[in-house]
Structure 1
Amino acid sequence: MSPLRQHVIDKMTLQGFTKSTCRAYLYQLTELARYFHRSPDELTERDLQAYVLYLIRERAWSRSSCRQAVHAIHFLFNKVLGRPLNYLQLPYQKKDQKIPDLLYPDEVHSIIQHCTHLKQQSAIALSYATGMRIGEICALRIDDLDGPHNRIKVRQGKGNKDRYVLFPEGVKRQLRCYWQRYRPVDVLFYGLDKHRTYDPKYLRLEVKDAAKRAGISKTVRFHSPRHAFATHQLMAGMPLTRLQLLLGHRQLSTTLVYLQWIAMMEPCQKVSEDLLGPAWCVS
Structure 2
Amino acid sequence: MKNLTRPLPPLKSVRLLDQLRERIRYLHYTISTEQTYVYWVKGFIRFHGLRHPAEMGRAEIEAFLSWLANERRVAVSTHKQELSALLFLYGKVLGVDLPWMNDIGRPRTKRRLPVVLTPDEVARLLCLMAGEHRLLAQLLYGTGMRINEGLQLRVKDIDFERRTVIVREGKGGKDRAVMLPESLIRPLREQLARARVLWADDCRCGRAGVEMPDALARKYPRAGTSWAWFWVFPQADVSVDPRSGVVRRHHLYDQTFQRAFKRAVTCTGLTKLATPHTLRHSFATALLQSGYDIRTVQELLGHADVATTMIYTHVLKVGGGGVRSPMDALPAPGLSP
Shorter-chain-normalised TM-score: which range?
0.7 to 0.9
Cα offset, 1:216, TM superposition: 1.3
What residue is the counterpart of 1:73 in the other structure?
86
Cα distance change of structure 1 residues 249 and 222 upon mapping to structure 2, 3 Å threshold: same
What residue is the counterpart of 1:208 in the other structure?
262
What residue is the counterpart of 1:152 in the other structure?
165
Q: Tell me if structure 2 keeps the 8 A contact 1:29–1:73.
A: yes
| CA–CA separation in structure 2 for the residues paired with 1:233 and 1:110 | 19
Query: In terms of mean alpha carbon deviation, does 222-231 or 11-20 score higher?
Result: 11-20
Query: In terms of mean alpha carbon deviation, does 17-26 or 212-221 score higher?
Result: 17-26
Residue 87 of structure 1: SS of its match in structure 2? helix
Larger relative contact order, structure 1 or 2 (CA cutoff 8 Å, min sep 6): 1
Q: Is 1:124 aligned to residue 114 of structure 2?
A: no
What residue is the counterpart of 2:18 in the other structure?
6
| CA–CA separation in structure 2 for the residues paired with 1:128 and 1:2 | 46
Q: Is 1:40 aligned to residue 53 of structure 2?
A: yes
Provide, for residues 25-68 of structure 1, a one-character-per-residue CA deviation record: whole Å limited to 9, x for no partner: 22221221222231333323211110000000011012221122
What residue is the counterpart of 1:25 in the other structure?
37
Q: Tell me if structure 2 keeps the 8 A contact 1:66–1:90.
A: no
| CA–CA separation in structure 1 for the residues paired with 2:308 and 2:190 | 35
Cα offset, 1:267, TM superposition: 4.7
Percent identical pairs in the alignment equals 29
Cα distance change of structure 1 residues 99 and 159 upon mapping to structure 2, 3 Å threshold: same
Cα offset, 1:121, TM superposition: 0.5
Q: Is 1:220 aligned to residue 233 of structure 2?
A: no
Q: Tell me the TM-score normalized by structure 1.
A: 0.87
Residue 156 of structure 1: SS of its match in structure 2? coil
Provide, for residues 187-209 of structure 1, a one-character-per-residue CA deviation record: whole Å limited to 9, x for no partner: 11111138421100011111111
Q: Equivalences for 1:268-279 in 2 at 5 Å?
A: none
What residue is the counterpart of 1:276 in the other structure?
none
The one-letter code matched in structure 1 to 2:15 is P
Provide, for residues 56-110 of structure 1, a one-character-per-residue CA deviation record: whole Å limited to 9, x for no partner: 0011012221122112111111221122224345434443222132100110111
Residues matched between the structures, number: 267
Higher Cα Rg, which structure? 2
What residue is the counterpart of 2:109 in the other structure?
95
Provide, for residues 186-239 of structure 1, a one-character-per-residue CA deviation record: whole Å limited to 9, x for no partner: 211111138421100011111111111122121010101010000001111112
| CA–CA separation in structure 1 for the residues paired with 2:252 and 2:269 | 27
Q: Equivalences for 1:245-256 in 2 at 5 Å?
A: 245-256=299-310
Q: Is 1:189 aligned to residue 238 of structure 2?
A: no
Instruction: Note the residue ranges of structure 2 that are not aligned, 5 or more in a row.
Output: 1-12, 200-229, 239-247, 323-337
Q: Tell me if structure 2 keeps the 8 A contact 1:52–1:90.
A: no
The one-letter code matched in structure 1 to 2:175 is D
| CA–CA separation in structure 1 for the residues paired with 2:154 and 2:126 | 22
Cα offset, 1:13, TM superposition: 2.6
Cα distance change of structure 1 residues 46 and 166 upon mapping to structure 2, 3 Å threshold: same
The one-letter code matched in structure 2 to 1:102 is V
What residue is the counterpart of 2:126 in the other structure?
112
Residue 165 of structure 1: SS of its match in structure 2? strand
What residue is the counterpart of 1:281 in the other structure?
none
Cα distance change of structure 1 residues 51 and 144 upon mapping to structure 2, 3 Å threshold: same
Q: Tell me if structure 1 keeps the 8 A contact 2:145–2:280.
A: yes
What residue is the counterpart of 2:219 in the other structure?
none
What residue is the counterpart of 1:16 in the other structure?
28
Q: Tell me if structure 2 keeps the 8 A contact 1:155–1:161.
A: yes
Provide, for residues 2-22 of structure 1, a one-character-per-residue CA deviation record: whole Å limited to 9, x for no partner: 621222222223333233322
Cα distance change of structure 1 residues 254 and 33 upon mapping to structure 2, 3 Å threshold: same
Instruction: Note the residue ranges of structure 1 that are not aligned, 5 or more in a row.
Output: 269-283
The one-letter code matched in structure 2 to 1:196 is H
Aligned match for 2:175, one of 142, 153, 162: 162
Q: Cα RMSD (Å) of the superposition?
A: 2.1
| CA–CA separation in structure 1 for the residues paired with 2:82 and 2:263 | 31
| CA–CA separation in structure 1 for the residues paired with 2:298 and 2:49 | 45
Q: Tell me if structure 2 keeps the 8 A contact 1:101–1:220.
A: yes
| CA–CA separation in structure 1 for the residues paired with 2:111 and 2:87 | 27
Query: In terms of mean alpha carbon deviation, does 201-210 or 178-187 score higher?
Result: 178-187
Q: Tell me if structure 1 keeps the 8 A contact 2:191–2:232.
A: no
